[in-house]
Amino acid sequence: MSKLSVAGILAESAENWPEFDRPETRVMLGIIRLNDIVYESTRSLLAEFGLTPGAFETLMTLRGQPAPWQMTPSALYQSILMSSGGMTKVLKQLEADGLVDRVDNPEDQRSRFVRLTPAGKILAEQVMEAVAGHDRELLTGSLSDQQIEQLGKVLLKTLAKLEGGGQARM
C-alpha cells in the first residue's frame, strides 16, 4: 500500500480538521515527505555502489576534510550524528572494502585516525557525482534552476537560524 500524498493528507484534513491546514503544516509535511522520497531513492542509488547511507556519509565527511582526508573516529561520528557503535560497524566494513585505513595519531598514542585510501577517495567522488546528478534530476522535474536556487537559500537560512549558527553559504 502506498502512502497518501501530502496533497491527499491536506485534502482529507481540510474536510475533517480544517485547522490542521496551515502554511507551517504544509511546509513541514512537505519537508518530511521530500526527505522520505530522497532518502529512499538515494539509498537505492548507493546500493549500486555497494554503500549504505552511513558508509556514504562517512566517505563524504572524510572527503570534505583537507588532505590527507582524515579524522578521529569520535570526531567523525559526531560530525554525522551516528552512535559510536554504528560508526564502528561502518568503519569495519569500509576498512574491509579497502576504502579507509586506520593510521596512528602522532599527537595522541591512544587514538588513531580514520583516513580515506586512494580507492576511497575515488569512490567518494564518483558516488557524490552520481548523487548530485540524481538530486538534480529529482529537483529539475518540478522546479526551475531559479526556484532550486531560491529553495536552497531559504532552507539554509532556516537551518542556520534553527541550528544557532551563522549564515550558511549557497
- Cα gap 42→51, rounded to integer Å: 11
- Cα gap 74→151, rounded to integer Å: 33
- Cα gap 76→105, rounded to integer Å: 14
Angstrom CA distances, 70 to 37, 62, 118, 158, stand at: 31, 6, 12, 30
Task: State which fold the 49-161 domain adopts.
Answer: Arc Repressor Mutant, subunit A (1.10.10)
- Cα gap 78→87, rounded to integer Å: 10
Domain boundaries of the chain, sorted by first residue: 1-48, 49-161
Residue-level pLDDT at 161: 93
51: cell is 554503500
pLDDT tens, residue by residue, 78-117: 899 788 888 999 999 999 999 999 999 888 888 899 999 9
pLDDT tens, residue by residue, 47-75: 999 999 999 999 999 999 999 999 998 89
135: cell is 538530486
pLDDT tens, residue by residue, 9-37: 888 888 889 888 899 999 999 999 999 99
Q: Which residues lie below 8 Å from residue 141, measured CB to CB, with a gap of 6+?
A: none
